[in-house]
Structure 1
């Protein structure tokens, strides 16, 4: 069975971070493993507190996985501190996984900062050059490039700049712009727009984590980068379309919609029919 490793923070609400990543791996047919970099106390409305995991524990988690279990792809999410970024970069150089999907998580849906400002430069210098693909949203890409992104031409310029930082490719997500949420794939040779359909829902907690994890899972199964992205986009679109209205804030995506549907889960079809 193919495997994927997520290196990210834990979300006590279950909609993002490690929890979303492992659900996504399972839904996309790979065995998921995890290295937890931070523990967050959060729900659909807020992040109440964050505690970074001690560096020695992070390193032990990485070693424990890589020394025993084959890793077909790595997804990197919330890292929080400069020291954590440096440690992850050092160990990615050591173990050299074939695929690294870097999701530069900076701010939660509720507006809480998940990456310390002083860690951004370390992320740019140490991790972006190791990435097979970087998957920022518009605000994250603006931070990484120092550019204001207001349209497609700006997205192209920002993507070129991110690849110029050393990444092999970038998927710049366009959901924060007006109109349809079209994403841009760029890898120095290819400029490809991946069309999306805007779904009117507030339940978008963890969607960035989910998309990057789906791409990692597809790469782990041997798909090309473009195919992995297309399949990942299809997966997250369905997960958002049939998202779950849990909590009072931004509810989670429905990671197992297809599984529930195929299993004839009672209640799912009636929920779908009411949409």
Structure 2
């Protein structure tokens, strides 16, 4: 029997983030991926690789969700970039129509193609309407700071407190990611599980952010949960999978590298 995982997220045209990364991750981990596109993001090479953001019409998103959930018995879903309050309304309604074993939320709070006011409205709607549905949420350092209401996060203790505060908003499991931006030699993530804290640490691979790392981590968690893993095991494996992908990063004509989702499989094959 084939395990299935669903993703509702934006499309990123270079292939380095968004639903492209999610589906590649699912495939690498032996899970049949089903996807709904919420928006299209195209980096602009003529303007410093800034974002160009185009939302998908809410009724088209609703049609995609109807088709996906009618065709397959889906009970594990990853939520990525939604982008507008109207999109959030449609997705929140869909999440409420059925029971889900797991909803993994990668809380993308900002898009550089949006005006600040629109971005704030989207952030508020995400917090109020999507976060309560999530069983697992995976904020990066910036997102953890915003969602927790903390003035700053500069230590593992701060990261742990942020995870605790975010859990108070609804999700049982919070994976607060320090990444390269948290001071120290290691990339540290904190898993908060109903009061229990697990610190996951790996040496930093350089000091620059790599595109698609957050998408890859959340998608790998989703895939492992779809296969029946427990959350701690899923998060631990996803950290290993993503770290390997950062080490095997793909360079391009962009000013940033991207995660290679096939890196861990390549590493294991070489070890054999």
Q: TM-score, normalised by structure 2?
A: 0.90
Return the match for 1:84 from 75, 80, 87. Answer: 87
Other structure's SS at 2:95 match: helix
Is the alpha carbon distance of 1:162 and 1:66 closer, same or farther for their aligned partners in structure 2, counting shifts above 3 Å?
same
Q: How many Å apart are 1:152 and its aligned residue? A: 1.8
Moved more, 248-257 or 73-82: 248-257
Distance, in Å, in 1 between the alignment partners of 2:51 and 2:175 is 30
Q: Tell me the residue number matched to 1:71.
A: 74
Q: Tell me the residue number matched to 2:139.
A: 136
- RMSD of aligned Cα (Å): 2.1
Moved more, 204-213 or 66-75: 66-75
Return the match for 2:62 from 44, 59, 84. Answer: 59
Q: Deviations over 1:184-224 (max 9, x none)?
A: 00022311101122001647111100100000000000000
- Name the structure with the higher strand share: 2
Other structure's SS at 2:236 match: helix
Are the aligned partners of 1:203 and 1:240 in contact in 2 as well (CA < 8 Å)? Answer: no
Distance, in Å, in 1 between the alignment partners of 2:259 and 2:44 is 14
Return the match for 1:103 from 90, 103, 106. Answer: 106
Q: Deviations over 1:62-91 (max 9, x none)?
A: 110111112141010101111111211111
In the alignment, structure 1 segments of 5+ residues that lack a partner are: 270-275
Q: Tell me the residue number matched to 1:3.
A: 4
Are the aligned partners of 2:245 and 2:260 in contact in 1 as well (CA < 8 Å)? Answer: yes
Other structure's SS at 1:15 match: coil
Detail structure 1 runs of 4+ shifted over 2 Å in the superposition.
Answer: 43-48, 111-115, 257-264
Q: Deviations over 1:223-267 (max 9, x none)?
A: 000000011001001001111112231111111124456788xxx
Return the match for 2:182 from 142, 159, 177. Answer: 177
Q: TM-score, normalised by structure 1?
A: 0.89
Tell me the matched-pair count.
263
1:243 is aligned to 2:249: yes
1:254 is aligned to 2:254: no
Distance, in Å, in 2 between the alignment partners of 1:262 and 1:247 is 29
1:211 is aligned to 2:211: no
Q: How many Å apart are 1:122 and its aligned residue? A: 1.3
Distance, in Å, in 2 between the alignment partners of 1:261 and 1:103 is 27
Q: Deviations over 1:152-201 (max 9, x none)?
A: 22112211111100111100001121111110000223111011220016
Q: Tell me the residue number matched to 1:118.
A: 121
Q: How many Å apart are 1:113 and its aligned residue? A: 5.6
Distance, in Å, in 2 between the alignment partners of 1:134 and 1:191 is 15
In the alignment, structure 2 segments of 5+ residues that lack a partner are: none
